[in-house]
Structure 1
Amino acid sequence: MLFLKEHLHNVYYNWTIGLNHSVQNNEPDRRIFDRFNGNQVLFIINYFGQSLGKLTVNDGRKIEKLISTQLPGEIKSELSVFNWLRGMYLYYSN
Structure 2
Amino acid sequence: MSFLKEHLAGNHYHWLTAPVGTAFSGSPGRRLFDPFNGLQVLYIINYFGEAIGKLTIDQGRKLETLMLKELPTTIKSEMGVFNWLREQYMYEAD
**For the superposition of Structure 1 and Structure 2, which TM-score range results when normalised by the shorter chain?**
over 0.9
User: Does the CA contact (< 8 Å) of 2:3 and 2:60 recur in 1?
Assistant: yes
Give 1:63-74 correspondences, 5 Å limit: 63-74=63-74
TM-score by length of 2: 0.92
Could you tell me which amino acid in structure 2 is paired with residue 41 of structure 1? V
Could you tell me which amino acid in structure 2 is paired with residue 81 of structure 1? V
Aligned length: 93
Give the match's secondary structure for 2:91: helix
1:85 maps onto 2:63 in alignment = no
With over 3 angstroms needed to count, the CA separation of the structure-2 counterparts of 1:24 and 1:60, relative to structure 1, is closer
With over 3 angstroms needed to count, the CA separation of the structure-2 counterparts of 1:92 and 1:22, relative to structure 1, is farther
User: Does the CA contact (< 8 Å) of 1:22 and 1:43 recur in 2?
Assistant: no
CA deviations 1:19-51 (Å, max 9, x no partner) are 5x9624311000000001100000000000000
With over 3 angstroms needed to count, the CA separation of the structure-2 counterparts of 1:5 and 1:22, relative to structure 1, is farther
Once the two structures are TM-superposed, the CA of residue 58 in structure 1 deviates from its matched residue by 0.5
Once the two structures are TM-superposed, the CA of residue 18 in structure 1 deviates from its matched residue by 4.0
Report sequence identity in percent.
53
In structure 1, the residue matched to 2:16 is: 16
CA RMSD between the two structures: 1.5
Distance 1:22 1:58 in 2: 28
More helix by share: 1
Distance 2:49 2:40 in 1: 14
